[in-house]
Amino acid sequence: MIKNDLFLRALKGETVERPPVWMMRQAGRYLPDFMKLKEKYDFFTRCRTPELAAEITTMPIEQVGTDAAILFSDILVVPQAMNVEIEMKPGVGPFLPNPVRSPLDVNDIIVPDVYEELGYVYDAIKLTKQRLNDEVPLIGFAGSPWTILCYLVQGQGSKNFDKAKEFCFKRPDAAQVLLQKITDTTISYLKGKVKAGVDAIQIFDSWGGLLSPTDYQTYSWKYIQQIIDALKDEIPVIAYGKGCWFALKEMSQSGAAALGVDWTCSAMNARYLSGGQITLQGNFDPSRLYSSPQEIKKMTTQMIDEFGKDRYIANLGHGILPDIPVRNAQAFVDAVKEYKPR
């Protein structure tokens, strides 16, 4: 039995004494102990070494005190398992020497045996669960098929992923084949995470907001829906789409346990658009953690007042930035923990 089950209770929509709190990318670059490991081991070594992944995952629980842990890993381990070469270049981020640009390239993408190719992730989950000792729940995650496609086709990060969109609009049949391969792999991968012991799943659609509402349904949401359908009876699923406020109504009817919201959508609009009956998660602007601790606490309290303490999980609207002072992250977490309904 998990001692602090606040996060899981909020996912079920139960009445809680205060909202739970965690931060996307919480096991990351703002923590000095993380930076020490970063100097010793490259990025994918950290992801592929279960002992390191478990250590990094538990750092924010021990040091900042969030109500849930999220496994240290990366969304790009999935395409790596699908026979795609991906490097993490300093100053560039993800880099693919041979991006997908044709139907022939799509044919080279495999749907792997996830237990064979991604066994290190499942080992990391088991080690992390041991380290957590049932103190807090553990979240597993994956990127949405559209977000993975963006990297596979663009070949690196981008502000608009123009090559990815061009590929979809010029070669829609090939794009749909690729998206389905990613979807099938992701479902198997996440089912493996459930078996290994995670307590919830989050799907990150980081680039969904780059699509029009119509194209979002065609190239992103229908694949996310397949993932939710495959998992929702086994485990709570959180669907997070950055910039996807226009899809909140459909998302709320998907069977997801909760919806992530970014800071460009107000609490009032998020509640209205999602129908008011589903747990929402978010949506503090990560850049606002540059404010003073006093200002952070004040704004965090205001955010909870606006969302309401029930059917709500306090979080950032996207991942924590690398140069945020630890005391500012702590101020955010403390403000949620100290929250008293008015």
Rounded CA-CA distance 35/5 in Å is: 30
User: To which residue do tokens 């990150």 refer?
Assistant: 204
Instruction: Give me the sign of the Cα torsion angle 147, 148, 149, 151.
Output: positive
70: three-class secondary structure by DSSP: strand
* Identity of residue 134: D
Q: Is residue 27 annotated as involved in ligand binding?
A: yes
Q: Is residue 318 annotated as involved in ligand binding?
A: yes
Rounded CA-CA distance 106/287 in Å is: 38
Q: Is residue 26 annotated as involved in ligand binding?
A: yes
Least Cα distance to 229 among 190, 182, 271 occurs for 190
Burial 88-111 (b: 16+ CB within 10 A, else e): eeeeeebebeebbbeeebbeebee
Q: What are phi and psi of 213, to 5 degrees?
A: -55, -40
Q: Is there a contact between 144 and 208 (Cβ–Cβ < 8 Å)?
A: yes
Whats the size of the chain, residue-wise? 342
Q: Is there a contact between 86 and 74 (Cβ–Cβ < 8 Å)?
A: no
Q: Is residue 206 annotated as involved in ligand binding?
A: yes
Q: Is residue 25 annotated as involved in ligand binding?
A: yes
Q: Is residue 9 annotated as involved in ligand binding?
A: no
Q: Is residue 173 annotated as involved in ligand binding?
A: no
Q: Is residue 44 annotated as involved in ligand binding?
A: yes
Binding residues: 25-29, 44, 74, 151, 206, 318
Binding residues for substrate: 25-29, 44, 74, 151, 206, 318
